[in-house]
Chains A and B, each alone.
Chain A
Amino acid sequence: MSERNSFVREVAEKKYEYGFTTDVQTDIIEKGLSEDVVRLISQKKGEPDWLLEFRLNAYRYWLTLEQPTWGHLKMPPIDYQAISYYAAPAQKPATVVGASSADLDPELIKTFDKLGIPLEERMALAGTAVDAVMDSVSVKTTFREKLREKGIIFCSISEAVREHPDLVREYLGSVVPYRDNFFAALNSAVFSDGSFVYIPKGVRCPMELSTYFRINARGTGQFERTLIVCDDDAYVSYLEGCTAPVRDENQLHAAIVEIVVKERAEVKYSTVQNWYPGDSEGKGGVLNLVTKRGHLRGRDSRLSWTQVETGSAITWKYPSCVLSGDGSQAEFYSVAVTNNYQQADTGTKMIHIGKNTRSTIISKGISAGKSQNAYRGLVKVASTADNARNYSSCDSLLLGSQCGAHTFPYMDVHNDTAVVEHEATTSKISEDQLFYCNQRGINTEEAVSLIVNGYAKEVINKLPMEFAVEAQKLLGVSLEGSVG
């Protein structure tokens, strides 16, 4: 048995590896949502009036909306009054400006060590700066000093509100306004924390920036908000990872990610999403309902979304790009794996507004067990987008006769010089491929893992090194036991 396969087995026996809870004293507010709760969150975070006003507007607007139902999903009813909208590890000092690990609760450090996110020196070797968010608040951001030398701001969004209010005020809600959709309005009202990144003009961020999200406390939701602003000629690569403990109830995760890309700037955003997917009976798991959008404002700007989605009971998100700068380029690479009773309705939106804009969509869906995996994508070419070019390819792989793979592409073309192409295939692993591997002494399980990894390679290759390794392992683990 090869080393990797033994690893896969080992992990599979453990089931969801990140399913531990950490015994940290947590400050959780009463369950329920009202204007008072919104005010309380704002007050706990010591926010300025404009932000409270923003939250209240969002909350009032949210009250007028109904939860959408158009997704190809069977969504359990969400009781928005049964969720606590703010949870913070209690022993955390109020701010962690340059906090050393001594300031942090040792249990918390253990948590992140278990997750493989050592907040200290090990990260130096990996060359990654980390912002870790547990439940609702950011607990630690590493390497701030080193980044500050270059003028890069990388901190929690609450801190950014205090220290860089002008920047936050200018960009917050400029890409995803609170009126965007039901979950965006909810998030805008109650968002607790998240990361803020600002890369000044002409700076190439010397290390990869990373955020790790973890839901720990029971009966809470996570509503983080990430805002990335990449100024002219700057570059940043940003990684996001997530885990949650094993719970038998559904936990809600409704985040917003906003990215602003200015002239000739480039942002790479990579996600490895591994929220708790529920058990093999489909009980529990995280409801991952996220709005992610990038605005390519400047000429020749570039944005690439790469996502590996293996977790969550329900994934409903469309990381999108608005290409308004002339000559801007956007890419979307996605691998979505669903097993057991997981459901995913994910894809992207590419909205071409500027001239000579280009976008590429590569989506790979893998469904196993009794799961449902849907790709939904919009490519819109406005009448101003001369010579826009899009290429989309979405493939689905079915492992098992009870799962579903669906493709719902939308193409709206309003310009005669645009070229838009879409292709999709759905198939299973062919007997020929398996036979070929078996003939060469590779057993069926290994052969499947080999073929699946080959299938997803196009996307995984786009991930930064450390993430690629993790993603590959996750693919193996997520599909373990689905081949029979």
Chain B
Amino acid sequence: MSAEKQYTDFYAEVRETIAARSCDEMNACREKALQTFAAQGFPSPKMERYRYAKVEADFSPNYGIALAPLAGPLPPYCFRIADADPRVRVLYNNVADAADSIVALNTLLSVDTLVVHVPRGIKVEHPIQISNILKGEHDTMVSRRILIVMDELAEADVIITDRAASQSRFLTNQVIEVVMGDGSHLSLYEIEETHLLCTRYGSVFVQQGRNSSLHHTSLTLFNGHTRGRLDVQLQGEGSEVTANGCVIADKMQRVDNNTLIDHQVPHCQSSELYKYVLDDSAVGAFAGKVLVREGAQKTISKETNANLCATRSARMYSQPMLEIYADDVQCSHGSTVGQMDEAALFYMRQRGIDEPEARLLLKAAFITEVIETIPLLSLRDRLHVLVDKRLRGELSKCEGCKLCK
């Protein structure tokens, strides 16, 4: 059975159940999604944006598919889509790339959507944390959908964490759509600490209005296979985006981040910083494209990808791209792949720090550059601890929160 057929057959079987558990806005999109998915199948590595992903292999295993709607009390400003403002509900599936078959599969199988809606002028004081905890006896596939709508001048921090509470295989296909009104500000963090048997496809699609600013940080601390996609459309003048990411990968982990920053109007700024530390047989990939459309003058864009390969079997693919159709712009990108500074190692060893510890310090320092850009102080401190633990190999499972116990 082809990998695609497994999903289309499953959908044919449960389409009524899904429709009954879901809402009109979501059900209305399914037919088209099915057509897209059936026509295209899983993206092959021949597609430029999926060059480094092994989609078919990731989706082939026989997973049970979770179809439970959201349950339990939700934090402030968070709603199930059925309870959200009708004005917000219509935005569902309007931002995501409907032609992409991974998105189509998500649209097809998602039962519920978590809506985060911050009304005009409201500054949400405490960060909104959304924890996804994967737990179950059986191998499970989860389709998750989140819609974040920031009205004009709204401000919020949203932290989305992925954790695994049991040792089964999990496959997550997550789509986040973000609509940012004029003058709004959003800090969006995606933190992944799962285990080697977890595969995660996360796609984030953002539309930004005038003078809005987005700070997106993606942290892959522990995972199996991860594919992250971030598409940002800068549609309003004066909008800004900062997209940062760090990856710590070892063993057989695979992390592929693919970003597209689309400068559609003049006077926008974008900045990207992605750092990878790869150990053992880990494979890392970063492909970031900055597109400056015709007329998007006075664009300022900066893209940096720095990578540390600690072993011979670790592999890194880096592809920072610029596509520019306007002349009055300043765009730059840089990419490096290298190893630890021998002089710095020597310096530390001279001062009595043993080699493994010195190497660890250097790796931590390398990652720190990304963490230091996080505006949320408490999260920054927590991450320093997590990174240190991760590098010491202590963070192979989630610890602390009572939900996991």
Contact = CB atoms under 8 A, between A and B. Distances in A.
Given A418-B337, A419-B338, A398 B324 contact: yes
Interface in A225-257: none
A17 to B, nearest CB: 28
Contacts of B354: none
B329 A428 contact: yes
A406 interface: yes
A428 B309 contact: no
A423 B311 CA distance: 24
**B: contact size bracket:** 35 or more
A421 B315 contact: no
A130 B310 CA distance: 51
B324 A410 contact: no
B320 A424 contact: yes
Contact of B309 (A396, A406, A413, A427): A413
Nearest to B320: A409
B339 A411 contact: no
Contacts of B322: 396, 405-407, 424, 426
A414 interface: yes
A427 B334 CA distance: 15
Contacts of A101: none
B398 interface: no
B321 interface: yes
A64 interface: no
A411 B315 contact: no
A391 to B, nearest CB: 10
A417 interface: yes
B124 interface: no
Nearest to B308: A416
B317 interface: yes
A426 B332 contact: yes
B54 to A, nearest CB: 16
B309 A415 contact: yes
Contacts of A426: 322, 324, 329-332
Nearest to A426: B331
B165 interface: no
Contacts of B338: 418-421
A411 B297 CA distance: 29
Contacts of A427: 329-331
Interface residues of A, number: 36
Contacts of A360: none
Tell me the interface secondary structure of chain A in the complex.
Answer: strand
B369 interface: no
Interface in B305-327: 307, 309-327
A411 B319 contact: yes
B333 interface: yes
Contacts of A400: 327
B294 interface: yes
A425 B330 CA distance: 7
Given A407-B321, A411-B317, A420 B326 contact: no
A401 B328 contact: yes
A406 B325 CA distance: 8
A422 B320 contact: yes
Given A412-B315, A422-B320, A426-B322, A401 B332 contact: no
Contact of B332 (A383, A405, A424): A424
B316 A422 contact: no
Nearest to B46: A70
Nearest to B322: A407
A408 interface: yes
B313 A421 contact: no
Contacts of A398: 324, 326-327, 329
Contacts of B309: 413, 415-416, 418
Nearest to A410: B319
B321 A412 contact: no
Contact of B336 (A401, A402, A421, A424): A421
A404 interface: yes
A399 interface: yes
A249 B19 CA distance: 58
B335 A428 contact: no
Given A410-B317, A413-B316, A428-B328, A423 B339 contact: no
Nearest to B327: A398
Contacts of A424: 320, 322, 332-334
A419 B337 contact: yes
Nearest to A383: B312
A396 B324 CA distance: 10
Contact of B294 (A402, A409, A413, A414): A402
A238 to B, nearest CB: 32
A409 B337 contact: no
Nearest to A427: B330
Residue of B321, B322, B330, B339 contacting most chain A CB atoms (<10 Å): B322
Contacts of B336: 419-422
A401 B326 contact: yes
A129 interface: no
B335 A422 contact: yes
A403 interface: yes
Contact of B339 (A72, A404, A416, A425): A416
A415 B311 CA distance: 7
B286 to A, nearest CB: 9
B333 A407 contact: yes
Contacts of A413: 307, 309, 315-318, 337
A416 B327 CA distance: 38
A383 B313 contact: yes
Task: Enumerate the 10 nearest inter-chain pairs by beta-carbon distance, A residue then B residue, closest first.
Answer: A398-B327, A411-B318, A407-B322, A426-B331, A420-B337, A413-B337, A422-B335, A423-B334, A416-B309, A425-B332
28 contacts: A72-B323, A381-B337, A396-B322, A398-B326, A400-B327, A404-B325, A405-B322, A406-B321, A406-B323, A407-B320, A407-B321, A407-B333, A409-B319, A410-B319, A411-B319, A414-B312, A415-B309, A415-B312, A418-B337, A420-B318, A420-B336, A420-B338, A423-B332, A423-B334, A423-B335, A424-B332, A425-B332, A426-B322
Interface of B: 48, 294-295, 297, 307, 309-339
Given A396-B322, A415-B312, 10 more contacts: A409-B320, A410-B319, A416-B309, A416-B339, A417-B339, A422-B334, A422-B335, A424-B334, A425-B332, A428-B329
